Amino acid sequence: MKCTRCKAKAEVHLRAHNAGFCRPCYLEYFRRQVERAIARERMFTTEERLLVAVSGGKDSLALWDVLAELGYHTTGLYLGLGIGEYSDGSRAKVEAFAASRSLPLVVRSLSEEGPGLAVPDVATATRRAPCAACGAMKRHFFDAAAHEGDFDVLLTGHNLDDEAARLLGNVLRWQRDHLARQRPVLAPTHPKFVRKVKPLYLLSEYETAVYAFMRRIDYVVEECPNAEGATQLVYKDALNRLEAASPGTKLAFVKEFVRSAQPLFAERERDAPGDCQACGMPAYGALCSFCTLVREVEAKRARRAALAGLGV
Amino acid sequence: MKCTRCKAKAEVHLRAHNAGFCRPCYLEYFRRQVERAIARERMFTTEERLLVAVSGGKDSLALWDVLAELGYHTTGLYLGLGIGEYSDGSRAKVEAFAASRSLPLVVRSLSEEGPGLAVPDVATATRRAPCAACGAMKRHFFDAAAHEGDFDVLLTGHNLDDEAARLLGNVLRWQRDHLARQRPVLAPTHPKFVRKVKPLYLLSEYETAVYAFMRRIDYVVEECPNAEGATQLVYKDALNRLEAASPGTKLAFVKEFVRSAQPLFAERERDAPGDCQACGMPAYGALCSFCTLVREVEAKRARRAALAGLGV
């Protein structure tokens, strides 16, 4: 196959786009896709201060890399989740990436934020699935870091496969509240929220992996050990089969949703959040999801301490 | 496992419902599910005249059987599609079923309606996928038979698996026109349309197969030879995998769509159809889909006859 742009020998074949690219043209293609998404969805400008949440995986590091290349003002945000070796390894990759490009990086760690706040501990104490606990904790610390650091925008590296899997899950149960808020740009609904955007939402996992490979980004290859058997992977598998039978399925699913169906759901979006009584961050009830988790962890620790005091 | 209703030994296990049934209780369960769908969606009454489209497969014969048992005024409608042995076999099954229960049956046949109108011939002449040609022809003859026979309602045996697959296909491309009209009861939008209903829309393929087996209904077991590789089967396979990972997925997908999401799409339903200039049946353009196909078939035949006349 020949490169669709320059007719040299193609190194990558994108069935969903019915196109092939040589290495320089692929990098150009990838950058343009990101630029177009930023422009079309009015994600942010070169004047704004961007906080990029980076996990050490290919998607978030590819995002940070391409934005730095394009001249945006980026700062990385790494949150240590306390998931054993997986977390240690990912932190090292992120720090090495930032150092090699002289990019500013904020590092925080759940276990340093309070006792028992590492993801496995919270999951056990609150009897929640690790992914649910992790999601709530990440959202809280990402939002807080963006607000405290006075950033204009919070960015995540969610790719097309992530968005398609999330959309499929929301659609299979017609979760209208979730569908009302699944879009590539979320305007802040509270003074302590900043705009949240996903510039890679139309680029597949394969496309970000190729970009990271070609740019020699050293990223964490292992999946999070908690992800095995997660529902998201069942959805991704189903979508991969549909994609194989009809290339372009995922792209059409997400793109057309955002264009024509999402507005129908967004009309019924729930009210703006109030203030969490504990931490002051946005909350839909008296407490935000994070403080709800923290209370449960504290209650568990208090019970355990009381039992230990009784010599049980 | 024990029967959920009577505690006898269960013969059927329905994971989606987390229930098991012995034979008599299963038949009772199935009838009640149909009765509830009829009542909840206000499908029809015992006073109305029902035309049941029957293919000879398990779903449509199970539907006809249960409605006759429940005391509704039913007439069967069989349309011969001209798909070789498959059609011959299915006609024989339908005729035997109707005769054994002394139920009235209307039989029509595409090849007797006009030259070159059998499904394989139309598909070839119009270069359409057989399933697309077949769908358009069936809709036309079903609508026409219901109108001409002065029936109140036209019923089809679409089951939960059919509806879930169709819904997934519509959702993957966000076909809003199709989503606006996918519901278990369609009110007539034209004087020559009658109400169209699908009483089995929440009963799975497995459930109708068990019902047909227990009621000793002799049905066509073979799939239509054209169905192999059809997109619907790819969707059904994906949904079966999702169902295996999380029983109840298909039921929630279709039921919750009809309850809460379908109304959002229905608000934007397209205008009512006009009259087809050729046959007078409802049409969204100058010609209805059926007459469009017929014109294409006639044009092809005319070209062939002209070539034959020239000795080519």
How would you write the pLDDT of chain B (312 residues) with one tens digit per residue? 899 999 999 999 999 999 999 999 999 999 999 999 999 999 999 999 999 999 999 999 999 999 999 999 999 999 988 888 888 889 999 999 999 999 999 999 988 888 888 888 888 888 888 888 888 889 999 999 999 999 999 999 999 999 999 999 999 999 999 999 999 999 999 999 999 999 999 999 999 999 999 999 999 988 887 776 678 889 999 999 999 999 999 999 999 999 999 999 987 667 789 999 999 999 989 999 899 988 988 898 888 888 888 876
When CB atoms are compared, the residue of A241, A242, A264 closest to B265 is A264
Whether the Cβ atoms of residue A219 and residue A212 lie closer than 8 Å to each other: yes
Interface ipTM: 0.89
Lowest mean pLDDT among A76-85, A188-197, B141-150: A76-85
What is the reported pLDDT for A228? 63
| Residue B223: partners with Cβ closer than 8 Å, 6 or more residues away | none
Q: Give me the amino acid identity at A61.
A: L
Q: What does the angle CA A115 – CA A117 – CA A118 come to, to the nearest 5 degrees?
A: 115
Q: Is B253 on the interface with A (CB under 8 A)?
A: yes
CB contact under 8 A, A242 and B241: no
What is the reported pLDDT for A58? 96
- Chain A contact probe: residue of B172, B236, B256 with most A CBs at under 10 A: B172
- Burial tier of B287 (Cβ tally within 10 Å: 0-12, 13-18, 19+): middle
Residues of chain B found within 8 Å of residue A232, distances taken between Cβ atoms = none
What is the C-alpha to C-alpha distance for residues B226 and A142, in angstroms, rounded to an integer?
Answer: 53
What is the C-alpha to C-alpha distance for residues A244 and A16, in angstroms, rounded to an integer?
Answer: 10
Task: Calculate how close chain A gets to B267, using CA atoms only, in Å.
Answer: 10
The H or E element spanning position B196 is: strand B195-197
Q: Is B193 on the interface with A (CB under 8 A)?
A: no
What is the reported pLDDT for A229? 62
What is the reported pLDDT for A7? 96
Percent of chain A with pLDDT over 70: 98
Task: Please tell me whether residue A13 adopts helix, strand or coil conformation.
Answer: strand
Phi, psi torsion values for B258, nearest 5 degrees: -60, -40
Task: Please tell me whether residue B226 adopts helix, strand or coil conformation.
Answer: coil
Lowest mean pLDDT among A81-85, A296-300, B107-111, B146-150: A81-85
CB contact under 8 A, B253 and A176: no
Whether the Cβ atoms of residue B205 and residue B239 lie closer than 8 Å to each other: no
What is the reported pLDDT for A70? 96
Residues of chain A found within 8 Å of residue B241, distances taken between Cβ atoms = 234, 237-238, 241
What is the C-alpha to C-alpha distance for residues B22 and B210, in angstroms, rounded to an integer?
Answer: 12
* CB environment A110-129: b (16+ within 10 A), e (fewer): beebeebbbbbbbbebbebe
pLDDT score of A130 more than 80: yes
Q: Is A174 on the interface with B (CB under 8 A)?
A: yes
Tell me how long chain B is: 312
Nearest CA in chain B to A253: B172
What is the C-alpha to C-alpha distance for residues B159 and B161, in angstroms, rounded to an integer?
Answer: 6
Cβ atoms within 10 Å of B135's Cβ, excluding its own: 14
Nearest partner of B55 among B138, B137, B165, B124, judged by Cα: B138
- Give per-residue pLDDT as tens, A135-162: 888 999 999 999 999 999 999 999 999 9
- Give per-residue pLDDT as tens, A18-45: 999 999 999 999 999 999 999 999 999 9
CB contact under 8 A, B174 and A256: yes
Q: Is A230 on the interface with B (CB under 8 A)?
A: no
Whether the Cβ atoms of residue B282 and residue B271 lie closer than 8 Å to each other: no
What is the reported pLDDT for A121? 84
Task: Calculate how close chain A gets to B252, using CA atoms only, in Å.
Answer: 6
CB contact under 8 A, B176 and A265: no
What is the reported pLDDT for A191? 92
CB contact under 8 A, A241 and B245: no
* Residues 272 through 311 of chain B touching chain A, CB cutoff 8 Å: none
In the predicted model, what is the mean pLDDT of chain A? 93
What is the reported pLDDT for A119? 85
Lowest mean pLDDT among A80-94, A204-218, A224-238, B158-172: A224-238
pLDDT score of A227 more than 80: no
Question: How does residue A223 score in pLDDT terms, banded at 50, 70 and 90?
Answer: confident
Task: Please tell me whether residue B191 adopts helix, strand or coil conformation.
Answer: coil
Q: Which of A73-82, A108-117, B261-270 has the highest mean pLDDT?
A: A73-82
Q: Is B174 on the interface with A (CB under 8 A)?
A: yes
pLDDT score of A312 more than 70: no
| Residue B173: partners with Cβ closer than 8 Å, 6 or more residues away | A252, A253, A256
pTM: 0.91
Percent of chain A with pLDDT over 90: 73
| Residue A254: partners with Cβ closer than 8 Å, 6 or more residues away | A160, A163, A164, A167, A201, A202
User: Pick the residue with more confidence: A104 or B134?
Assistant: A104
What is the C-alpha to C-alpha distance for residues B251 and B262, in angstroms, rounded to an integer?
Answer: 15
- Give per-residue pLDDT as tens, B241-299: 999 999 999 999 999 999 999 999 987 667 789 999 999 999 989 999 899 988 988 89
